[in-house]
């Protein structure tokens, strides 16, 4: 029996040749991804051009075919940039939309483009190109934010605040030192994104649908043209795994988690009970009912959006975990969480860099708070240890002194020498300086400590590192 020709108008579908009826409308909408994957268009075109040029180099496409493809793609790129491109859900996804338009524009050459390629290796390539660009932008945004953090730290090396453990006053620290803790976290976040880039920047194209292709392709050439560091070694792996996207989301979840912690602190510090800082009005919002309110909506939203980003990470892990090799359509679901992760992180970093520049500090309130919780008790214990008292004993002695101060409703530094001497004869006049907030800070004078000269050096090192990145 002779095979039936596919209907002349097969819906523009490139794959419906063997279908006996058109795809149900509902299914068409359910399976289409063009509404969101059109964002990959420029990367898709880039990948197609590299593929076509390679096919010419190995003698599969003619020079004139490739010239046609290049001409058509230039038109398409313009149409997309000018938002004149007519995206059609009937054409399912970004790849088929572009291919169909190319064929409309240049004829047979457009139909030859897909030689030796599948949408499976095509989409894997597109996402990697997209994420590489997104990652590079993220790195620049982190650096810009870190630089603003350093500017703020610069102004507050000598600003005293209570350091907390268990959210109870623990020991005094420099506010700059506190800020520099976030600088460090962000530095690790940046290094995670850089590291992620290495595994991400490998070319899947050439894997075909899953097993490779019968054409004499030159994958290294395509990799070079697209700026990949190497090629995916295994075709099945190349089309199916999205670990690079999961890794990207993990990096994003971690940095958002750091920003969420900072947000929580800004919110606390803004509360009048703390009163440590003020955020510029342009980062706050009011209440529709309570006229007195000024709310820290931006940090609250960062904290909230962190939940969303963490959710995307778990979503992608779950998407992957049950998939047999090789490509499965499940993978189409990787894009929306990924795009949302990239967008949310970028706007969060942008807004944070601005917001940090708009923080004003109430040094008096910070200092007052540091005076409240016997923040220099450890300094008194260390003082006794340096005079030969074993630390555990010193701890006991100071605990008793703190109890006395608490009964009197004063700080340790406010007990006079005679009174302190009742707890240990070794306490002398030089204790006053040790019990002061400044004395306590200055005494932690080693790399990583909060002594102002150490913090100043840390900021200088950080600036140098940032400039070298």
Give the active site residues.
166, 287
147 versus 328: smaller Cβ distance to ligand ARG: 328
Contact 146/428 with Cβ under 8 angstroms?
no
CB atoms within 10 A of CB 34: 18
242 binds ligand ARG (CB under 6 A): no
**Closest CB 227 distance from ligand ARG, rounded Å:** 22
Q: How far is the CB of 38 from ligand ARG (least distance, A)?
A: 11
Q: How far is CA 6 from each of CA 71, 91, 114, rounded to the nearest angstrom?
A: 30, 17, 19
Angstrom distance (rounded) from CA 436 to CA 456 = 20
Number of residues engaging ligand ARG in binding (CB under 6 A): 9
Rounded CA separation 448/201 (Å): 35
Question: Which of residues 95 and 156 has its CB atom nearest to ligand ARG in the complex?
Answer: 95
Instruction: Give the bridge partners for 163, in sequence order.
Output: 171
Which of 14, 41, 110, 126 minimizes the C-alpha distance to 71?
Answer: 110
Exactly one of 117, 119, 156, 303 binds ligand ARG (CB under 6 A); which one? Answer: 119
Any contact of residue 123 with ligand ARG (CB under 6 A)?
yes
Q: Is 12 helix (H, G, I), strand (E, B) or coil?
A: coil
Q: How far is the CA of 132 from the CAs of 16, 50, 82, 339, in angstroms?
A: 34, 17, 24, 13
In the complex, minimum distance from the CB of residue 341 to ligand ARG, in angstroms, rounded to a whole number: 16
* Closest distance of CB 244 from ligand ARG, Å: 15
Among 67-75, 117-125, 311-319, 381-389, which window interacts with ligand ARG (CB under 6 A)?
117-125
| Interface with ligand ARG, residue 93, by CB under 6 A | yes
Residue 83 contacts ligand ARG per CB under 6 A? no
Taking CB under 6 A as the criterion, the residue among 48, 103, 120, 171 binding ligand ARG is: 120
Helix axes 335-357, 243-270, angle to 10 degrees: 30
* Contact code string over 315-344 relative to ligand ARG, x by CB under 6 A: --------------x-xx------------
Cβ contacts of 284 within 8 Å, gap of 6 or more = 294, 295, 296, 297, 298
- C-alpha span between 223 and 104 (Å, rounded): 28
Instruction: Count CB atoms within 10 A of the CB of residue 388.
Output: 8
CA distances from 73 to 42, 223, 449 (A): 10, 20, 58
- Smallest separation (angstroms) from ligand ARG to the CB of 117: 11
- Pairing of β 168-174 and β 202-203: unpaired
| Residue pointed to by tokens 């940046």 | 190
Residue among 242 and 305 whose Cβ is closer to ligand ARG = 242
Q: Residue 123 or residue 185: which is nearer to ligand ARG going by CB?
A: 123
Closer Cβ to ligand ARG, 44 or 247, answer by number: 44
Q: For residues 297 and 333, which CB has a smaller minimum distance to ligand ARG in the complex?
A: 333
Closer Cβ to ligand ARG, 65 or 93, answer by number: 93
Question: In the structure encoding, which two tokens stand for residue 413, read together?
Answer: 């530094």
Minimum CB separation of residue 333 from ligand ARG in Å reads: 8
Q: What is the sign, positive or negative, of the torsion defined by CA atoms of 455, 457, 460, 465?
A: negative
Question: With contact defined as beta carbons under 8 Å apart, do 366 and 160 qualify?
Answer: yes
What are the beta bridge partners of residue 33? none
Closest CA to 231 of 315, 124, 73, 105: 124
Judged by CB under 6 A, does residue 146 bind ligand ARG? no
* 33 near ligand ARG (CB under 6 A): yes
Nearest distance from residue 344's CB to ligand ARG, in Å?
Answer: 21
Residue closer to ligand ARG (CB basis): 116 or 163: 116
Using rule CB under 6 A, residue 121 touches ligand ARG:
no
Integer Cα distance of 206 and 456 in angstroms = 53
CA 243 → CA 9, 317, 338, 342, distances in Å?
39, 8, 12, 16
CB of 94 to ligand ARG, least distance (A): 7
Of the candidate spans 116-124, 413-421, 436-444, 456-464, the one that interacts with ligand ARG by CB under 6 A turns out to be 116-124
Q: How many CB atoms lie within 10 A of CB 404?
A: 15
Q: State the Cα–Cα distance between residues 277 and 359, nearest whole angstrom.
A: 7
**Cβ-based burial of 193 (10 A; exposed 0-12, middle 13-18, buried ≥19):** buried
Residue whose CB is less far from ligand ARG, 95 or 178: 95
Which residues lie near ligand ARG (CB under 6 A)?
33, 37, 93, 119-120, 123, 329, 331-332
């Amino acid at each position: 029996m002779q095979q039936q020709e596919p209907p002349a108008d097969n819906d523009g579908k490139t794959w419906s040749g063997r279908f006996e009826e058109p795809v149900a409308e509902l299914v068409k909408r359910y399976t289409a991804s063009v509404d969101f994957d059109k964002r990959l268009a420029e990367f898709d075109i880039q990948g197609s051009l590299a593929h076509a040029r390679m096919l010419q180099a190995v003698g599969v496409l003619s020079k004139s075919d490739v010239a046609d493809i290049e001409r058509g793609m230039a038109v398409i790129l313009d149409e997309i940039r000018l938002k004149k491109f007519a995206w059609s859900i009937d054409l399912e996804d970004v790849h088929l939309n572009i291919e169909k338009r190319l064929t409309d524009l240049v004829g047979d050459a457009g139909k030859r483009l897909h030689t030796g390629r599948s949408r499976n290796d095509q989409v894997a390539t597109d996402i990697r190109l997209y994420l590489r660009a997104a990652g590079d932008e993220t790195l620049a945004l982190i650096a810009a934010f870190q630089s603003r953090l350093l500017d703020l730290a610069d102004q507050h090396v000598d600003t005293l605040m209570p350091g907390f453990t268990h959210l109870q006053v623990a020991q005094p620290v420099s506010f700059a030192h506190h800020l520099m803790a976030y600088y460090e976290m962000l530095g690790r976040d940046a290094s995670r994104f850089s590291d992620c880039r290495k595994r991400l920047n490998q070319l899947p194209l050439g894997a075909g649908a899953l097993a490779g292709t019968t054409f004499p392709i030159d994958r290294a050439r395509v990799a070079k043209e697209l700026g990949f560091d190497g090629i995916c070694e295994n075709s099945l792996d190349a089309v199916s795994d999205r670990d690079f996207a999961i890794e990207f989301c993990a990096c994003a979840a971690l940095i958002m988690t750091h920003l969420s912690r900072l947000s929580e602190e800004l919110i606390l510090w803004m509360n009048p009970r703390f009163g440590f800082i003020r955020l510029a009005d342009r980062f706050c919002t009011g209440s529709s009912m309570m006229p007195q309110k000024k709310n820290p909506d931006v940090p609250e939203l960062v904290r909230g959006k962190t939940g969303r980003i963490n959710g995307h990470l778990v979503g992608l892990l779950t998407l992957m975990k049950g998939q047999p090799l090789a490509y499965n359509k499940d993978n189409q679901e990787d894009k929306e969480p990924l795009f949302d992760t990239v967008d949310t992180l970028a706007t969060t970093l942008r807004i944070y860099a601005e917001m940090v520049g708009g923080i004003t500090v109430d040094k008096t309130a910070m200092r007052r708070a540091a005076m409240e919780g016997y923040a220099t008790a450890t300094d008194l214990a260390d003082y006794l240890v340096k005079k030969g008292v074993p630390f555990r004993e010193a701890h006991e002695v100071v605990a008793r002194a703190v109890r006395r101060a608490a009964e009197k409703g004063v700080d340790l530094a406010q007990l006079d020498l005679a009174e302190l001497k009742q707890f240990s004869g070794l306490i002398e006049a030089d204790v006053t300086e040790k019990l002061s907030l400044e004395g306590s800070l200055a005494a932690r004078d080693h790399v990583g400590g909060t002594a102002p000269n150490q913090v100043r050096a840390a900021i200088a090192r950080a600036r140098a590192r940032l400039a070298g990145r």
